[in-house]
Amino acid sequence: MAYKTPDQIAAAAVVAGEKKAHLPVGKMLVGGFLAGAYIAFAGLLAVDVTAGLDPAIWGGVTTLLTGAVFSMGLVLVLVAGAELLTGNMALVPMALLKQRATLGRLGLNWGVVLVANLIGSLFVAYVFAAHTGIIGGPGSPEGSAAAASFERLSGIATGKALTESNGSIFLRAIGCNWLVCLGVWMSIAAEDIAGKILAIFFPITAFVALGFDHVVANMFFLPAAYWVGTPGIGWGDILGNWLFAGLGNVVGGTLFVGVAYWYLYLRGAPPAQAAPAAGSDASGTTGAPRAAGEAHRPR
């Protein structure tokens, strides 16, 4: 099975980050909407699959299975192609550090993709979770699948919105995006789809099983729980979680993956080090190469 070495991953990651930074806003919006929807679909599937599993019997298998199923979200993002904010938190800063993108383009990318991820997540939460009957409500018949799914979603959302402190959310979010961006990083190493899926599976399963906080995933779980009638959760709780999860995700992805691997493999390297290796198509990017006028920008 062919794969890239870590220094080749770093070079390809810079190319991916540069492409993402220079996407037209329209492509950021469409790609971001799709990524938000893909993560939300994975969250909905994870809730449905694990609904009704008694923790007293299944123990940690419940969260392990949740993570395994949830990994579908990043597989869809990276294999089908979409723009996920948390992955961009590692890739675009690497392009910035190699002077292949500006701070303004980084801010534009993060801002537009954030809004688009939110819209995609809310769309799936409102349409497919709250209005299809897949997730029940407080009045669902006891013992029914709808009641079990409501209980499972409510448990996840209550823990994230009400039980965790702001400091806990922040720290969990650091760990989350460290693992998520490692999944993105290792998927770039793979030269075939099977390798990409395998590279994604273990880090994503780990962050979910550990109970870490992913801001885009929480854009699905928390509003969906609110809309189906989970008691005690309000928009203030939801926005507070998003704020601290987002800040922690920035630290986890940018510092522990983007900056760390830039330092290990790219700091002080000649510009050729950041050129695309053979077969190093940008992982998950929805964009096209830069315009010809930008092709030889000084590094």
Residues forming beta bridges with residue 190, ordered by sequence position: 3
The dihedral built from the CA positions of residue 286, 291, 296 and 298, taken in this order, carries a sign that is negative
Are the C-beta atoms of residues 182 and 257 closer than 8 Å to each other? yes
Is residue 190 classed as helix, strand or coil in its secondary structure?
Answer: strand
Which residue ranges make up each domain of the chain? 6-279
| pLDDT, position 244 | 98
Whole-number Cα distances in Å, 187 to 21, 78, 128, 179, 190: 20, 8, 29, 12, 5
CB atoms near residue 129 (< 10 Å): 26
| pLDDT, position 55 | 80
d(CA 118, CA 222): 12
Instruction: Quote the pTM value.
Output: 0.91
Place of tokens 């190093």: 280
- CATH 1.10.3720.10 assigned to 6-279: no
Helices (H) and strands (E) in the chain, counts: 13, 0
pLDDT tens string, the chain, 299 residues long: the values are 589 999 999 999 999 999 999 999 999 999 999 999 999 999 999 999 999 898 888 888 999 999 999 999 999 999 999 999 999 999 999 999 999 999 999 999 999 999 999 999 999 999 999 999 999 999 999 989 999 999 999 999 999 999 999 999 999 999 999 999 999 999 999 999 999 999 999 999 999 999 999 999 999 999 999 999 999 999 999 999 999 999 999 999 999 999 999 999 999 877 554 444 434 444 576 654 443 334 333 33
Whole-number Cα distances in Å, 145 to 65, 128, 255: 18, 16, 42
CB atoms near residue 189 (< 10 Å): 19
Structure tokens at 122: 């809310």
d(CA 230, CA 167): 24
Residues forming beta bridges with residue 3, ordered by sequence position: 190
The dihedral built from the CA positions of residue 121, 126, 130 and 134, taken in this order, carries a sign that is negative
Structure tokens at 93: 């800063």
| pLDDT, position 282 | 45
d(CA 150, CA 139): 10
| pLDDT, position 294 | 41
d(CA 254, CA 62): 30
| pLDDT, position 54 | 85
How many residues in total does the chain contain?
299
